[in-house]
Amino acid sequence: MHAMAESSSHRPALAHHASGSETTALTHHPSSSTKHPRDARPEHPPASRSQIETKYMNMLLALDDIPRLHNMLASFFTWILLAGFVLFPGTFTSLRNSQAGIGSSEVGKHVLDAVAHVPLFVIAFLCCGIGAAGMCYLWWKWMYNYVWLVNKIFLPGFLNSLAGLISTIANIYGVQNGEFSRTGKITIIVTAVSTGICGFLTLYYSLWKIRRVKRKHDQEVGKERAGRHGEGIVEQMKRKAAEKEPVARVI
């Protein structure tokens, strides 16, 4: 009986000790609320190459955001500039008309220097003026997008001006038999100046402005190639391994 009483007297103590152990275990059990703030935050992966913003990439992405109206105006202004250059040779006095002054070289010279079609001459000047003014406005409007300026303004303007210069020279030697009249000289000067300006701006923006931002883009992202079918490939950079940060193990 004494043993049974002794054992029964020790049971509550053991039970209390057991419940205390459970309470201690529950108290020290790690939960989501007691995690370290550093472990609770989600780890964000490092930015990939495609997520790096560069000036060159921003220019390429901005091409889609330029209004379609301005793209159409760029084509119109460069085309009307060419139209003016094409109309100029139509104002030249032909060699047949200049022969009306035979017997008087002074009269023949005046006939050769005269404008055959004054209204056509005025229209040609208006076309050139409208085209040049529109190109200058678009140049000012999108002055920081070098890629768009070269593709839409400077390069087409250079090619159209060169075509007008060749057409003028061909008409002088074909219609006027190589005689440079006053209108012919004016036309050559206008087309040559336009060709020189557009050609210089094309080379300046292509070989200096765009090349600088493209070189910086290649250093940060990598050199981009067209690929076999134009899918676009970014070459692996030599320092790729050095740029990778080691992943720290959480103990």
Domain membership of residue 108 (yes or no) is yes
pLDDT for the residue numbered 115: 57
Domains identified in the chain, total number: 1
Q: Does 160 fall in a domain?
A: yes
Q: What is the pLDDT of residues 88-120, one digit of tens each?
A: 887 776 544 544 444 445 544 544 455 567 788
Distance CA 127, CA 83 (A): 7
Tell me the pLDDT band of 173, cut-offs 50, 70 and 90: confident
Strongest mean pLDDT among 151-160, 212-221, 224-233 = 151-160
76 vs 197: CA distance, rounded Å? 19
The parent domain of residue 173 ranges over: 55-220
Instruction: Find which of 7-16, 114-123, 207-216 is predicted with most confidence, using mean pLDDT.
Output: 207-216
Q: Which two tokens stand for residue 29?
A: 């059990």
Does the residue 234 lie in any domain?
no
Q: What pLDDT does residue 230 have?
A: 79
User: What share of the chain has pLDDT > 70, as a percent?
Assistant: 63
Q: Is 17 a member of any domain?
A: no
Residues near 98 by beta carbon (within 8 Å), at least 6 away in sequence: 108, 111, 112, 176, 179
Closest to 236 in 3D by CA, of 224, 249, 251, 248:
224
Q: Is the pLDDT of residue 12 over 60?
A: no
Residue 20 included in any domain: no
Assess whether pLDDT exceeds 60 at residue 2: no
Whether residue 80 is contained in a domain is answered as yes
Asked if residue 8 is part of any domain, the answer here is no
Residue 49, in any domain of the structure: no
Residue 114 has what pLDDT?
54
Residue 60 has pLDDT above 80, yes or no: yes
* DSSP letters for 24-93: HHHHHS--GGGS-HHHHSPPPPPP-GGG---HHHHHHHHTTTS-HHHHHHHHHHHHHHHHHHHHGGGGSP
Residue 224 main-chain phi, psi, to 5 deg: -105, 135
Per-residue pLDDT, 174: 81
